[in-house]
Amino acid sequence: MDPLTHGLLGATIGQAFAGRGLGSRAVLAGAVAAMAPDLDVIMGATGPMGEWLYHRGATHSLWLPVVLGPALGYAATRRQGKERRPAWSLLFVLAMLSHPLLDWCTSYGTQLLAPFSARRFAVDAVAIIDPGYSLVLLAALVVGAWRGLATRSAALASVGALVLTTAYLGHGLALNREAEAQARGQLAAEGVREAQVRAYPTLLQPYLRRLVVRHGDEVRVGWLSLWSPRPVEWRRFSSARDPLVQAARETEEGRILEWFAMGQTVAALYSSATGAVVEIDDLRYGFPSQPTEGLWGIRVRFDAEGRIEGRPDRIDRPLPASARTLLAQIFRQTFAPRR
């Protein structure tokens, strides 16, 4: 999720488990430790594929907090004696561990076993930005600042916030499963069976889900509100199949995208002045007005003889409308009453 939410979660963990003994230092250290794994974003400077290759990689592995947390606890107490070392070590372990576990709940994909395995894990429970989740954590921290970190109220507020936000993630996962079930039911009523159906959370709220369906060569993309359910209006198209498409997928960039998107890609083939262009998109994220495109992908150019021209380019698609218009569209699709 976004760095601010990670920081709020780490600070809440600090307040819950170490606020009474360590005071404001626990809140600050928890916030910093929880945000620290995202330092891997600097690897985006290594090239166009750097973000896909390295973000949510080794710094997001589950083993790292277990190893690094006690070491940080030792460093924090080296000049203060050993009596508070267990508290500091536990704080660092929990705060750092919260980061990959929270990212795991989004659709982006997190390498929880890196560097021993490159497998990406995602459970599609929550969007990468969800104010409902973040504000609960913030409220607990406000209580701690108001009543004092050493008070019972601060501890209860922070523990309560951790319980509520964990339940919120569980609710999001249940919503995703419900969206997939409703989509399968509608498809079955249309005579479409044994289709691959995946639902993905969308920004700012948990109830609107992006649906991607694959049935043979056909791809469908639609949106379903679990707040105000209505039949999904599918946009249907086919992923291009051509030797040039296969050649594009077999490039290094094509293999990286397929791995990064966890297999959820679609290809399009276009003619160009000098030959042809293949575009491959990540379908997990996208806009309702552009169902065949994701937020990002790659573009591979071919000459008239079918040879690749230069290196494939990364595509980062621009917003199809203003941010205000897109936010209004999301909330209208989510909460508009069913007709």
Q: Could you tell me what percent of the chain has a pLDDT over 90?
A: 88
Buried b (16+ CB within 10 A) or exposed e, 39-52: ebeebeeeebbbbb
Structure tokens at 295: 């937020």
Mean pLDDT over each residue of the chain, to the nearest integer:
95
What is the pairing mode between strands 235-238 and 196-201? unpaired
Residue in the block written with tokens 């495109």: 293
Exposure of 98 by Cβ count < 10 A (0-12 exposed, 13-18 middle, 19+ buried)? Answer: buried
How would you write the pLDDT of the chain (339 residues) with one tens digit per residue? Answer: 999 999 999 999 999 999 988 899 999 999 999 999 999 999 999 999 999 999 999 999 999 999 999 999 999 888 766 778 899 999 999 999 999 999 999 999 999 999 999 999 999 999 999 999 999 999 999 999 999 999 999 999 999 999 999 999 999 999 999 999 999 999 999 999 899 999 999 999 999 999 999 999 899 999 999 999 999 999 999 999 999 999 999 999 999 999 999 999 999 999 999 999 999 999 999 988 888 899 999 999 999 999 999 999 999 999 988 989 988 988 889 998 866
pLDDT of 339: 63
The DSSP line for 201-266 is: E-TTSSSEEEEEEEETTEEEEEEEESSS------EEEE---SHHHHHHHTSHHHHHHHHHTTT-EE
Residue 114 near residue 61 (C-beta atoms within 8 A): yes
pTM: 0.94
Predicted confidence (pLDDT) per residue in 275-292, tens digit? 999 999 999 999 888 888
